[in-house]
Chain A
């Protein structure tokens, strides 16, 4: 979008009007989102149990904003991500992306959405095909999305963007450390010029020093490309570092959401208070 603004050059008023109108439409809007799973009956006569993995979740991601979703294991974070990505069908509520409904099971209708919203998962080893060179893996989303051309230039560009030497394109994922593999996964996500990056525990498998580098990289990329960010993490500190908005999830519901600074300094919900109090702290320097 920054590029569009620069290209618009002289015609400032028209560009600005377009921009304001666009900025008003949020990237993601989830409304009363729910997803439940049946549990085995406890009695042959009784009704089957129900587990609400996600229950009445309403949230919003403004253009260029960064939303962090924190919660402990089993709180429903990954189910929520799958719903936002249109990979799972909600049994209540709706997901909209830039004003249009995200409905799973319609690959053609979702193509533009898939291009604009890219994902980075926790385990870089699992998300990269071991038989594919780095170059092929990074170009793959472009090929899948039917973007024409050999993507050589773009691949080199995004490898550089994640501070890797483009010469790595001929090598295989196993030749890289966990941190470097996560850089490759991020390069791959950037390749189709997404508007939003979704990270599901993207730094949880990494050592603390490497984790810091990847967090730093994500922050820089988000700023430079004005990316929207949805970051799911069990680690409040990760969200505090990268996100201006935070949502606290527990047992499938968002118990509290708001500006990160405000929530961290004045948590209103007792669960948020307990969660923040439980995080061990370093002594001040």
Chain B
């Protein structure tokens, strides 16, 4: 998968645990502002690919290959360099917003922490910004809400807090690993819409990881399908989902279609509106 001018370029990425390449030569690229999906069944290596790029692999993992952001190598960089990049140019959100948040810290401070750390905001400027960001991600009563703790919020509200913190510094790239999998479907729809709007506004590129083909269709323009740690198919999201070339992608798609019910036809829609 090539992008015209690569923001992120991953080449022959391998992640090895005790002799096994669980990510086995993955290559793809993202242009600035682009939205790319990484899909595949459980255990296919989606999360480890993301964690490798973020420099957050668990101990015991050996990584080789290359991942460049703006041409700068991310793999093998020092922890200090990486943590400077994370939050400023590279941000992430995960499936479980509760584990990503500090339970003992008020949510306002968690939203504005990246601004203090990376943008030199004063305490008061950060506090004001936290309220603005809380409002921008659609949290209710933001003045009051920034003073609450994560456990006082619903799952969807917590994910909004994570999104606010991730996008506060307008990073060049946001990596989202199953960010709506733990949420109810109506909340998921809201979060996906919010995420789409905010990454557009911030000009942030999005690498979106999911096992849900219908979700990837709603969010991304291009995608890569992983299986057993390898990319088996890439292409425009619509093309791949309409006419998958790889047999494994076809199987995933057929399985996903089993639970898609028929949308109302014009007739039944008419029957609904008629008295």
Contact = CB atoms under 8 A, between A and B. Distances in A.
- Asked whether A and B interact, the reply is yes
Interface of A: 72-73, 207-209, 211-212, 215-216, 234-238, 240-241, 264-266, 274-275, 277-285
The A interface is mostly helix, strand or loop, or mixed, namely helix
A208 B186 CA distance: 20
B271 A266 contact: yes
Contacts of A240: 259, 261
A270 to B, nearest CB: 12
Nearest to A284: B242
8 A-B pairs closest in CB distance: A237-B259, A212-B255, A240-B261, A280-B214, A278-B189, A72-B184, A265-B264, A265-B268
B33 to A, nearest CB: 22
Interface string B231-270: 0000000100111000000011111111111111100100
A234 B211 contact: no
Contacts of B218: 280
Given A72-B185, A212-B255, A241-B258, A280 B217 contact: yes
Contacts of A274: 186
How large, as a class, is the contact surface on chain B?
Answer: 35 or more
A122 to B, nearest CB: 14
6 contacts: A208-B252, A208-B255, A212-B255, A265-B265, A265-B272, A282-B260
Nearest to B183: A73
A212 B258 contact: yes
Interface string B158-188: 0000000000000000000000000011111
B212 interface: yes
A280 B259 contact: no
A216 B255 CA distance: 10
A53 to B, nearest CB: 17
Contacts of B257: 282, 285
Given A208-B211, A281-B214, A275 B271 contact: no
B213 interface: yes
B178 to A, nearest CB: 13
B217 A281 contact: yes
A209 B184 contact: no
